[in-house]
Amino acid sequence: MRRTPDTVGPPRVAAWLLTRYFARRGRHELADELAELFLARVQSRGLFRARVWYWMQLASFPLHQISERFRHHSPAPSRDPVTRRRRGTMLGSFLQDMRYAARRLRQSPGFTAIAIAIMGLGIGANTAIFSIVNAVLFKPLPYENPSELVRIFTTEDDGETPMVSSYPDFVDIRDRTDLFSGAVAHSAMIVSLLNDEGAETVFVEYVSADFFEVLGLSPALGRGFDSREDEFGASEAVAIVGHQAWQGRHGSDPNIVGTTVRLNGRPVTIVGVGPEGFSGSMIGFTMEFWMPWGTATLIDSDMRRIVQSRGSHSLSVTARLQPGVTVAQAAAAMELLGRQLTEKHPDTNTDRNIVTMAAADVRLHPFIDAVLYPVAGLLMAVVGLVLLVACTNLANLLLVRASSRGREVAVRLALGATRRRLVSQLLTESTLLGAFGGAVGLALAYWTAMFITSFRPPVGFPIAVDLTLDVRVLAFTVVLSIATGAIFGLAPALRASRPDVVSTLKDDTRPHGRVRRRFGLTNVLVVSQVGVSLVLLIAAGLFLRGLLTAQRVDPGFETESVAIATVGHLMGGNGEEDGREFLYELARRLETHPGVSAVALADRVPLAASLQTQDVIVDGYQLPAGTDALETDYTAVTPEFFDVMDIPILRGRAFNSHDTEASPDVAIVSAAMARQIWGTEDVVGRQFRWGPADPPIEIVGVAQDTKVRTLGEAPRRHVWLPFAQEGARLLFVSVVAATTGDPGAMPEVFRREVKALNSSVPLFEAKTMQQHLGIMLFAPRMAAFLLAGFGILAMVLATIGLYGVVAYSVARRTREVGIRVALGADRSRVVGMVVREGMTMVSIGVVVGLGLSVVAMRPLAGLLNGVSVVDPVTFVGVAVLLTVVALAASYVPARRASRVDPMVALRYE
């Protein structure tokens, strides 16, 4: 039935909150008055609008409470029923303030457009970075009841660093059904997908059969995995295709279940389509397929050895807690299990612990998260400084606007307006500007975030980040917009609402009846803008100098005429022997190509994203204090590698055709390793071991030091091994070609030759050595790019602020300037007077900024590639640049002032 005002009441929650609000202030009657007004609105405008009005009343009280704190000599509360009712309807006052603020902003379109643009730039930069940080670190996990999930890690042999686990250890964890209702192991791998155009590499995630059930997900089409498909030795390989791949590669084919694809050269049957919106357990990587562990061994020849070895740590473990079991209880039980496994399996589990964490506390991996969170904090701090510059600019604009409205404010005060009411209206105006700026910033943020993420590292696989604007990003933007508008509009509102009424009404050209201060709030804000801008520009300059320094570093090998191809030789159905023969044949075919002088094979090229390390044992060598092993990088290469890469052999010989699996183990070591361990480079004939039970390896040569991991590293211990003895065991091997022509033409040659030799073998990536070095330079290049962009934005905003303050000062001193010119003052002196005023603020800002930069740059010392955090070239250069730009901003209004007609100026009001 239709509800009448007699049968309805205000929203219960809102009414309860307002009753509590008024009770604390001894104003019980106001709640009743609001209820009466609510019923009146029900009759006039309907129930829905009345309820919306009541909620808005509740939302408007905090703003009026802020204004109440700054009330100045307001009249005593009236007991007149009409007055009480007006005070009870704060929404009416709020809406009136909104209408008045909108009208005032419409009357000054130039001011409004500039203010909104300034706020939009500042808020947009913050929202863009926050949307990226949110996508990587804060977006909720797409699982059912994620609070019940935990991530379980096995530590390294230092007992502290959480890393991946082994499959046998996972089985022991899964058996603890008293703790977990389910536990799954998963690991992302790269496989070859054969299509009509040849083979390509895609991501597949090997998972336990109940992977989706434990996470609370279900396939969008088809079925999940059967428990029998998790058993090793399954006869048929099955997979679930990712939802995104199903839509893109397969055109949302509803009949895809039952079809077959070829992965690593083997037929795999599609049994389902993955959940919509789920791309895998690794944020930033989109899985093309999921496969159960039992059938993974059918397409991956090395997987059986991995899952059967307790010492092979390569998979992640996720578990769902039993009802009533806490994370702390599970962590304690897993720690005990780790000690038990150490006792049972001392060869593989000594000094290894099991660490349990809430899944919500792990985004990618604890080791990676430890780097991501500080980087995210640094990015948010940088854009926060940009917003600070934008907000101080807005505050300056509002101060100038408030000064020009002195007569209006004085008249309203003279007619009985309270200071609280004036502050409320002015705060509403600044908050409205912040809201409009937030709307503009939200639009800018999406495109800015897309632009930033388009600069992806030069790696051979796609990285995808979901930048959709979710509730977190929207809430962040709304809160930031309203808060900045209100906070930075408060000081101008307080100043504008406190004029000398009598003096202002007598002569509006005077500074509101007060003696003009030589260094007021506007000057302080300009100094702040200049100082913050200088900090950002110096940071950008230091990273740019570090980038230039890194580009000039000699890596110790040829970089101009070398091209690299990374081949999945064990995919496409190849075993280890077939894969080795494929690589040798590919090298022979490439050597016959015009423009190629030599070709070599390597299981890792210098400065790659991956690492290969092993502990070296040298008989009679005393380990340095504080170390328990000689960790050493190693690479397996063919004999031609040193010629292709132009790495000189300083002692002994390079590898040759006699260094095979049947011959004794030999190695070439770096000069740094020879000096660090034996104290001399003359170490040919000496020996070392990988392990106590391993045969000795004889050193047959000493090679010149090269950069191994980073361009900024000191000479590092490095061992080269014969490819024939070690090299074809990894999933990917690099083919390195020395060219006599343009190396940029080689990627197409690589693709053509690999496809002609075996179309089922995927080419993971093909690039020049210069492109390869871009991986190492990506981080400093992105840091320099972002800091330079935000620094320039801050400088532009600071310049606008300085120009506005100087121009306003000139406008207020028009009569003074006219008198000076009429009395014979030289126009150049007028220009100098105005410029000097602006440059005084800039000079103070530069000094403050330099001091802040010295302090702020120290935490970045390790990221600057050999550049000092107090690099004088950067500090002086940036300071000069900012000073020149500021000088131009001061000169424009100064030159305009010098051209004032004295007769016009003397009549100026």
In angstroms, the Cα distances linking 142 to 24, 186, 210, 216, 277 are 43, 16, 17, 9, 8
Looking at every residue in the chain, the average pLDDT score rounds to 82
- Lowest-confidence segment of 31-35, 66-70, 786-790, 894-898 by average pLDDT: 66-70
In angstroms, the Cα distances linking 908 to 508, 876, 902, 905 are 12, 43, 10, 5
Confidence of residue 407 (pLDDT cuts 50, 70, 90): low
pLDDT tens per residue across span 269-302: 999 999 998 888 888 788 999 999 888 888 876 7
Q: What is the pLDDT of residue 1?
A: 41
Strand, coil or helix: what is 362?
coil
Strand, coil or helix: what is 738?
strand
Q: What is the pLDDT of residue 698?
A: 95
Question: Residue 699 above 80 pLDDT?
Answer: yes
Whether 346 and 120 have beta carbons less than 8 Å apart is answered as no
Whether 787 and 539 have beta carbons less than 8 Å apart is answered as yes
Q: What is the pTM of this model?
A: 0.75
CA atoms of 836 and 890, how far apart (whole Å): 8
- Lowest-confidence segment of 63-77, 447-461, 578-592, 672-686 by average pLDDT: 63-77
Question: Residue 654 above 90 pLDDT?
Answer: yes
Q: What is the per-residue DSSP string for 878-894?
A: HHHHHHHHHHHHHHHHH
Q: What is the pLDDT of residue 514?
A: 41
Q: What is the pLDDT of residue 612?
A: 84
Question: Residue 805 above 70 pLDDT?
Answer: yes
Cβ-based neighbour number of residue 613 at 10 Å: 13
The larger pLDDT score, comparing residue 588 to residue 416, is at: 588
Q: What is the pLDDT of residue 515?
A: 40
Instruction: Tell me the backbone φ, ψ of residue 650, rounded to 5 degrees.
Output: -80, -35
Query: How many helices (DSSP H) and strands (DSSP E) are in the chain?
Result: 29, 22
Hey, which bits of 333-491 come out as E strands?
354-358
Instruction: Tell me the backbone φ, ψ of residue 195, rounded to 5 degrees.
Output: -130, -170
Please report where in the chains the tokens 């603890």 appear, as a residue.
Answer: 176
The larger pLDDT score, comparing residue 800 to residue 518, is at: 800
The larger pLDDT score, comparing residue 834 to residue 533, is at: 533
- Ranked by mean pLDDT, the top range of 87-101, 225-239, 258-272, 537-551 is 258-272
Outline where 9-46 has alpha helix (H): 12-24, 28-45
Question: Residue 68 above 70 pLDDT?
Answer: no
Please report where in the chains the tokens 């600019």 appear, as a residue.
Answer: 393
User: Residue 315: in which H helix or E strand, if any?
Assistant: none
Q: What is the pLDDT of residue 868?
A: 85
For the purposes of burial, counting CB atoms within 10 Å of the CB of 504, is it exposed (0-12), middle (13-18) or buried (19 or more)?
buried
**Cα torsion 239, 242, 246, 249: sign:** negative
Question: Residue 72 above 60 pLDDT?
Answer: no
- Lowest-confidence segment of 21-35, 350-364, 512-526, 563-577 by average pLDDT: 512-526
CA atoms of 771 and 605, how far apart (whole Å): 13
Whether 211 and 296 have beta carbons less than 8 Å apart is answered as no
Q: What is the per-residue DSSP string for 246-287?
A: HHHTSTT-TT-TT-EEEETTEEEEEEEEPPTT---SSTT---
Cβ-based neighbour number of residue 481 at 10 Å: 28
Q: Do strands 238-241 and 266-273 pair parallel, antiparallel, or not at all (unpaired)?
A: parallel
Q: What is the pLDDT of residue 448?
A: 84
Question: Residue 28 above 70 pLDDT?
Answer: no
Whether 827 and 909 have beta carbons less than 8 Å apart is answered as no
Quote the tokens at residue 468. Answer: 């959709």
In angstroms, the Cα distances linking 753 to 1, 564, 572, 749 are 80, 13, 15, 6
- Lowest-confidence segment of 342-346, 592-596, 803-807, 817-821 by average pLDDT: 817-821
Q: What is the pLDDT of residue 579?
A: 84
pLDDT tens per residue across span 741-769: 899 999 999 999 998 998 888 888 899 99
Strand, coil or helix: what is 43?
helix
Q: What is the pLDDT of residue 25?
A: 62
Hey, which bits of 278-397 come out as E strands?
289-292, 316-321, 354-358
pLDDT tens per residue across span 110-155: 778 888 888 898 999 999 989 888 888 888 888 888 899 999 999 8
Whether 355 and 152 have beta carbons less than 8 Å apart is answered as yes
